Each structure stands twice: as structure tokens, then as C-alpha cells.
Amino acid sequence: MAEHGASRQDRAGQRARAADLVCGVDEAGRGPLAGPVYAAAVILDPAQPIFGLRDSKALSARRREQLAAAIRRQALGWAVAQASTEEIDRLNILQATMLAMRRAVALLQPAPTLARVDGNRAPELGCAVQTLVGGDALDPAISAASILAKCARDAWIDELHQRYPQYAFDRHKGYPTALHLALLGEHGPCPEHRRSFGPVRRLLA
């Protein structure tokens, strides 16, 4: 699954010739026991600031969706990508996260000249990279990326809940809460549970 879009590309091209294009990059879904990890990359338009951007975890679901719509409408470029459950189990969660970030940045049009990435691990990208711990609360472009990634993953989890309602994914979003662990123990893992994660691996053993 991948999504991307660009706004006012002619103006973006003019700006790309005049100044660096900086994108923010963030992920959603490293901690859950099930499903893909998502990443987003966003190039904001300085001429059309989006007010209220902040770490997606500090926003209500409704506010996240409102801001996500504004980002998709007003950003110079945005993209959302993922690494699958199978890729997480095969590569490990860190490398799968880096892969999702690379995919998101590769989809951006216009292409960025600098990527600011939340955290302290830098994926290998086709542009310069800066890491920023706590960047989703400090850098508006990273905040925008965190919002798009979180909204995309939440939408995927809602679909998963429809397929496997016995796990109550709508209540814990796949994180290892007491409820999720109890239901996992009762029903065993579904195909989207991450076999490489401890609670799932122990059940299978």
C-alpha cells in the first residue's frame, strides 16, 4: 500500500530551483504486535502554513483526520508507504521501518534535497538526512508526517478489526495491552500477527 500526492507542482519546481526542499519523515506502528509499519514523508508549503501541527499522539482521532486532509490538500508533496508484516518478520522491525521510510521518500514529488527524520536512526535516502529526537513535536514537517502515518495505520487497523473482530483491534490498535494479550492467548495469532515479536513467538513455540 502506498499513497502520494503533490500540490502546485509548477510552483514547487520553481522553489526547488531557488531553495532546498525539506521533507519531514516519521513512522507509525513500530510497537504493535500485528500489521505493517507505516511511514510518511511531507514537504510543507511555507506560503500555506497548516496551523495545529504537532505529534500525532497528542491529537484526538478527529483532529488528526482534519489535519491529514489539510496536509494532503496544502502540502507541496506528501507520500505514505509501508513495510508488511512479512517484511517485519524477515528483516526485523528497525530495518522494516527504514524500508518504509525509504519507500515514502522515494514517492515524493518534487524530490526533497533534505529529509528530517524523527528519532536517532537515519535511513539511507537519495538525499541528505538529519535526525531529530522528538522531532514529531518540534518540526512541523515531521509532525505532518506523523499524522499521515498514524491515520493510514489506524485505517488499516480498522479494516483488520472487521476481518478479525475476536481480537478487538479497534480497542488496542494492535499494541500489547492486557486485553490484546488475553485475546491472543485465547484465539492464537491471526495471519497479520508478527511472528518475530516475543508474545506471538512464545505462543507459537
On whether residue 120 sits in a domain, the answer given is: yes
pLDDT at position 4 is 74
Q: What is the CATH number of the domain that holds 52?
A: 3.30.420.10
On whether residue 203 sits in a domain, the answer given is: no
Give the residue numbers spanning the domain of 139: 3-162
pLDDT at position 205 is 82
The total number of structural domains in the chain stands at 1
On whether residue 90 sits in a domain, the answer given is: yes
CA atoms of 156 and 2, how far apart (whole Å)? 12
On whether residue 187 sits in a domain, the answer given is: no
Q: Are 121 and 94 contacting, i.e. CB atoms less than 8 angstroms apart?
A: yes
Q: Is the pTM of this model over 0.75?
A: yes
Q: What are phi and psi of 79, to 5 degrees?
A: -155, 145
Q: β-strands 128-132, 114-118: how paired?
A: parallel
The string of pLDDT tens digits covering residues 183-194 is 999 999 999 999
